[in-house]
A and B are shown apart, each in its own frame.
Chain A
Amino acid sequence: MALKIVKGSIDRIFDKNLQDLVRGIRNHKEDEAKYISTCIDEIKQELKQDNIAVKANAVCKLTYLQMLGYDVSWAAFNIVEVMSSSKFTYKRIGYLAASQCFHESTDVIMLTTNQIRKDLSSPNQYDTGVALTGLSCFVTPDLARDLANDIMTLMSHTKPYIRKKAVLIMYKVFLKYPESLRPAFPRLKEKLEDPDPGVQSAAVNVICELARRNPKNYLSLAPLFFKLMTSSTNNWVLIKIIKLFGALTPLEPRLGKKLIEPLTNLIHSTSAMSLLYECVNTVIAGQYWESVGNLCVQKLRILIEDSDQNLKYLGLLAMSKILKTHPKSVQSHKDLILQCLDDKDESIRLRALDLLYGMVSKKNLMEIVKKLMLHVDKAEGTTYRDELLTKIIDICSQSNYQYITNFEWYISILVELTRLEGTRHGHLIASQMLDVAIRVKAIRAFAVAQMATLLDNAHLLTGNTQRNGICEVLYAAAWICGEFSEHLENPMQTLEAMLRPKVATLPGHIQAVYVQNAAKLFATVLKGEEGNTDGTAAQEASQLMIDRLPLFVQSANLEVQERASCILQLVKYIQKLQQKDVEVAEEVNALFAGELNPVAPKAQKKVPVPEGLDLDAWINEPPSESESEDEQPKAIFAKEEPKHSRPRHTEVDEKELARRREARKQEQANNPFYIKASPSSQKVYQEAPGVEHIPVVQIDLNVVLPFSCLPMSDQYVKMEEERRQKERAEKKKKEKKKRKEKRSGRGKKHDSAPESEEDITPAHMVDIVTEEMPENALPSDDDERDPTDPHKALDIDLDKPLADSEKLPVRSHRAAEAQKSPTDGETENATLQEPKKKSSKEKREKKKDKERDRKVYDIQGNLQDGSQVVVSVIFENKCNSFLKSMEFNVLDSLNSKLQRPEGSGPHDGLVVPFQLPPGVSNEARFVFTVQSIVMPQKLKGTLTFIVKNEDDSTHEKLDFKLHFTCTSYLITTPCYSDAFAKLLESGDLKSSSIRLEGVNMPFHHLLARICFHHHFSVVERIDSCASMYSRSIQGHHVCLLVKTTVSIDAKCDEPTLLGNVLDEIKQTFSQC
């Protein structure tokens, strides 16, 4: 007792447990980082100890620190050690740490394969469970491939606890190793009807996730799911199933009809909002809108009116989905949605905004935007205000300004938006101004006038700060004024505004535009003064330029400087000419002649590749790969260079060319995607009857309100209203006249009818110039699916019968892989393959049902103390009969003996302590004693068993061989680099070396393979070589130095062992 206390206290000197650590951190609020760094030092000490309990405790603390954000990747190996502890307490901690810290690039993961496999087949279900949970977090493609079969077996485990977990983790395995989907799918499907509800719901979850990504492959499961849906009462499961149907129905319309009834029932009856919401979503996605749509919209309205913010939000979200397919149903709830704009919850307002986007029409656009502008004024947070701003612009500009009937109104809205302080979206407003001014020709005069006012009042925009994003607007203003300066009332005044000294505080790219457009304006001024005999105004303009431009010549911005000095010289030259009374206006204007047309954003991409040009073909043959490594950089260069050179010409004669051109034109004419040149695209607006005759509202620019008190758009709203009314009245008159002519006194009712969309004609003759596209534009630029999407790989046809090549790689004893090599003769065949073959032979001889008694024998060498070897054998019953009374026997050799219980003879078999129902697997372990481990060994053995059918039972036997390779005597043992160096220096080791021929894989794969197949661990890796270490069960050290040139230098204190291990390594690599 006393001893125990003393021992405990000694242990605890080192042992600051997790609670102490947490308490410590909380007590050291001021110097937390320092405290933690001392803790980490302590942990490092603890990790060096042999006591697994201390290690586990340290790892547990590390997990906590990892959560706080500290890097613990250095302890990855220790985590693996704790994971492989045989005690559940520590194993649990180890797996937890691994699941938190490991990720795909953690290199020790490759060491865990065997450990995980062992845990998966542990008789203790919680060991298995903990391994599955951990694996679900850090599964890599390699792990998935190696363990897929083990996990698949676990799906039929006797314990539902394990089945459930195995089913769920299969999804992760599919993602990492898509080849496993087809072989595993039948079993997964079986689990949909598992007696345990947990397993069933897990299977539903997995299939639902799979089907959502690639629905078409799962259509055949619909009847099964339909059955589940009508029978299940578990809402969690129901939601998943309904979601699944949401993905399936678009592909199979008949399914929709069948679902209407159960869905309607659920919508009516359920009290669970989550289920209701899922049903509504599925209805929206599916094809049964006619019958249930109205019900859904009603339910959504109830949700939106609910006081629960969450329901309100989701209601709006679902509405926006409906909007895409059935806008009419949503538009009738406009009142409710506008109301939501006043909600105090920002996310709800944003949702409502989204909805408004789809609800606008020509008729209500102005009204909605007016409401939004009010919100812009009220909005407190800049993010929300910015969101409003972008939404306003989105709403107005959608589908090519389809809903705007009055562009003067829109320009004034844009101008009003420039008053927002601190918005990030100056750029957006600017690009809208440019877009409208360029594409709507009729609005240019008005736009130019507005922009001139903006430039004149630039100080209001730039006012306080440089970072003010709104000054981007001036970029647009300056460009519009310059480019369309012929519309300017008073170009001289604008020119003066553009050359104010304050401009020099603007960002460089804006100044550059200012300078360039000042020149354009200057040209316009000259042109305006041309006729005048008195040339003072023109000379004043030149003088102004010459006075102000030097400021820009000094600019730090290169672009500004260059343009300014260029223009300054030009103006100086012009001034000279002016003094000689030479007319220069025409020449100066010629500098800026010609119109700039808008180019479609995707134009460049759509330029078709000319016939006969293969962009992927080599122009110069790539240099051969045999060149030495040092020259590689040069080679890369040479490869890239040709890309810049001229494309290869193919020789085609003139006739051929003409023919092709003709064919292309023909093709374009028939191609609906080819956007033709502008004349035809103006059609939309010309179609409106009598557009030319609409009286254009005259705007007296002199009465434009001073800029600072500008809610001008309202004016236009009013004007527009009046205009529309007038139009209507006129129309009425006309109609009345018409009717009077025909028959009097019938049209009254019709007059009061609300005006329909088509009745509103735009105020201007708006010709939206279509953006230019290159000739022969290619129609296709669909957004392709993200090529990195992991689900893409899972698009696999599941109904095709399974081919043999698709079977999951069955784990096998290391030695099993060596047997495929041609050097081994037929007789060498052992372990896994052999029993399979034999059993099939047996089958044929007895001419029984083919599925009779297939079994898989998986043998893992598992090694412990000096002379003992543990072999675990997994028995799996693949036939439909019950197997019992299994006896395992091996013919001992001098060197290796099967350990039998005392009192039994040397040739007695061992009873396998379990029976196997069909489809079940289990593991048994057998201990062998070996004397010498320097040579590989083969042992012959037999398994006898009774096959029990319903009516008869037979006694059968199966022969097998166990192959003890030298590798299997090695145990993965970590080694620190200093200890490793000492070992090499000691001189006790004999050396040997091999070269691996024809190995062509990345270095780290090579290392991983050696680690995996031959139980080595990496000590250190420096650039092109890595040192590796392993130890035999009898304490022989084996050291390897592996180089990227795939040679291995090895040292070991036992040369025979070393030679055999190297041979085995060589064999491993000769197969790949």
Chain B
Amino acid sequence: MRFLLLFSRQGRLRLQKWYTAISEREKKKIIREMTTMVLARQPRTCNFIQWKDMKIVYKRYASLYFCLGVEHEENELLALEIIHRYVELLDKYFGNVCELDIIFNFEKAYFILDEFLMGGEIQETSKQIVNRAIESSDMLQETMEEYMSKPAF
């Protein structure tokens, strides 16, 4: 995997994760191209795009697009599964996740992602284990956290 982007229907970026080292300028260029390219796709077309030396696999969930850039040899259907699994994890954590959850708790979305994928590889295929890891590190955080104890939104 090279990167994961989440953006809204309006093309606003909601989350970005890069698994290879590239410069900021290059990142911005890719983000711009991805959003325009994916948003321009007709509905009911397939979820894969050949782009330069990689494959782009994207999927829309409600108002959010999940867009994954993978190596050329990668299995597209597996990439779709990965996206779906991530959405399930978010769903489990936030309880029926919506775009606003991710906007206001974007750091949590990253933490969840980091427990699921690491360095561009799948780290844990079991949902339960990922959830448990996030819960226990949150516990660690909550007990220390008196300072930022404001309601979410």
Which residues of A does B touch, CB under 8 Å? Answer: 11, 17-19, 22-23, 53, 57, 60, 63-64, 67-69, 71, 87-89, 92-93, 96, 99-100, 103-104, 124, 126, 129-130, 132-133, 136-138, 161, 164-165, 168-169, 171-172, 197-198, 201-202, 205-206, 209, 212, 234, 236-237, 239, 243, 273-274, 277-278, 281, 309-310, 312-314, 344-348
Which of B47, B81, B140 touches A126 (beta carbons < 8 Å)?
A: B140
Instruction: Mark out the residues of chain B between 125 and 142 whose CB falls within 8 Å of any chain A CB in the assembled complex.
Output: 125-126, 129, 133, 136-137, 140-141
Q: Which B residues lie within 8 Å of A138 (CB)?
A: 21
Instruction: Mark out the residues of chain B between 71 and 114 whose CB falls within 8 Å of any chain A CB in the assembled complex.
Output: 73, 75-78, 80-81, 103-104, 106-107, 110-111, 114
Nearest Cβ on chain B to A365's Cβ, whole angstroms = 26
Nearest Cβ on chain B to A679's Cβ, whole angstroms = 42
Instruction: Kindly state whether residue B62 has any CB partner on chain A within 8 Å.
Output: no
Q: Which B residues lie within 8 Å of A99 (CB)?
A: 114
A89-B144, A202-B123 known; A64 and B106 CB under 8 Å? yes
Which of A17, A137, A201, A281 touches B122 (beta carbons < 8 Å)?
A: A201
Let me know if A17 and B24 touch, CB within 8 A: no
Let me know if B144 and A274 touch, CB within 8 A: no
Chain A binding surface, main DSSP class: helix
Closest chain A residue to B78 by CB distance? Answer: A274
Let me know if B75 and A347 touch, CB within 8 A: no
Nearest Cβ on chain B to A318's Cβ, whole angstroms = 11
Which of A17, A236, A277 touches B150 (beta carbons < 8 Å)?
A: A17
Q: Which A residues lie within 8 Å of B77 (CB)?
A: 273-274, 277, 310, 314
Count chain A CB atoms within 10 A of each CB in B19, B46, B126, B150 and give the residue with the most.
Answer: B46
Q: Which A residues lie within 8 Å of B129 (CB)?
A: 198
Instruction: Kindly state whether residue B42 has any CB partner on chain A within 8 Å.
Output: yes
Nearest Cβ on chain A to B6's Cβ, whole angstroms = 10
Which of A68, A92, A278 touches B75 (beta carbons < 8 Å)?
A: A278
A312-B46, A347-B46 known; A88 and B136 CB under 8 Å? no
Which of A124, A169, A198 touches B124 (beta carbons < 8 Å)?
A: A198
Which of A67, A100, A165, A237 touches B123 (beta carbons < 8 Å)?
A: A165
A164 to B148, CA, bound (A): 31
Report B52-70 CB contacts with A as 1/0, cut-off 8 Å.
Answer: 0000000000000000000
Can you offer 28 A-B residue contacts whose CB atoms are under 8 A? A19-B104, A19-B152, A60-B107, A67-B14, A67-B106, A68-B13, A92-B141, A93-B107, A96-B111, A103-B21, A103-B24, A104-B21, A124-B140, A129-B133, A171-B119, A198-B129, A236-B78, A236-B81, A243-B75, A274-B81, A277-B75, A277-B77, A310-B48, A310-B76, A345-B42, A345-B46, A347-B45, A347-B50
Let me know if A169 and B119 touch, CB within 8 A: yes
Which of B14, B15, B42, B144 touches A87 (beta carbons < 8 Å)?
A: B144
Which of B16, B44, B122 touches A67 (beta carbons < 8 Å)?
A: B16
Q: Which A residues lie within 8 Å of B18 (CB)?
A: 137
Q: Which A residues lie within 8 Å of B19 (CB)?
A: 137
Let me know if B110 and A96 touch, CB within 8 A: yes
Nearest Cβ on chain A to B9's Cβ, whole angstroms = 16
Let me know if B125 and A234 touch, CB within 8 A: yes
- Apart from A103-B23, A201-B122, list 13 A-B contacts with CB within 8 A: A22-B153, A69-B28, A89-B144, A92-B141, A96-B110, A103-B22, A164-B124, A168-B119, A198-B129, A239-B78, A274-B75, A278-B75, A344-B44
Instruction: Mark out the residues of chain B between 1 and 48 whose CB falls within 8 Å of any chain A CB in the assembled complex.
Output: 13-16, 18-19, 21-24, 28, 31, 42, 44-48
Let me know if A198 and B123 touch, CB within 8 A: yes
Q: Which A residues lie within 8 Å of B31 (CB)?
A: 69
Q: Which A residues lie within 8 Å of B13 (CB)?
A: 67-69
Which of A11, A53, A93, A168 touches B118 (beta carbons < 8 Å)?
A: A168
Count chain A CB atoms within 10 A of each CB in B114, B119, B124, B137 and give the residue with the most.
Answer: B119
A700 to B124, CA, bound (A): 74
Which of B104, B133, B144 touches A161 (beta carbons < 8 Å)?
A: B133
Q: Which B residues lie within 8 Å of A88 (CB)?
A: 137, 140-141, 144
Q: Which A residues lie within 8 Å of B49 (CB)?
A: 347
Let me know if B46 and A310 touch, CB within 8 A: yes
Let me know if B145 and A89 touch, CB within 8 A: yes
A662 to B18, CA, bound (A): 60
Q: Which B residues lie within 8 Å of A133 (CB)?
A: 114, 118
A67-B13, A87-B144, A92-B137 known; A309 and B76 CB under 8 Å? no
Q: Which B residues lie within 8 Å of A236 (CB)?
A: 78, 81, 122, 125
Q: Which A residues lie within 8 Å of B50 (CB)?
A: 347
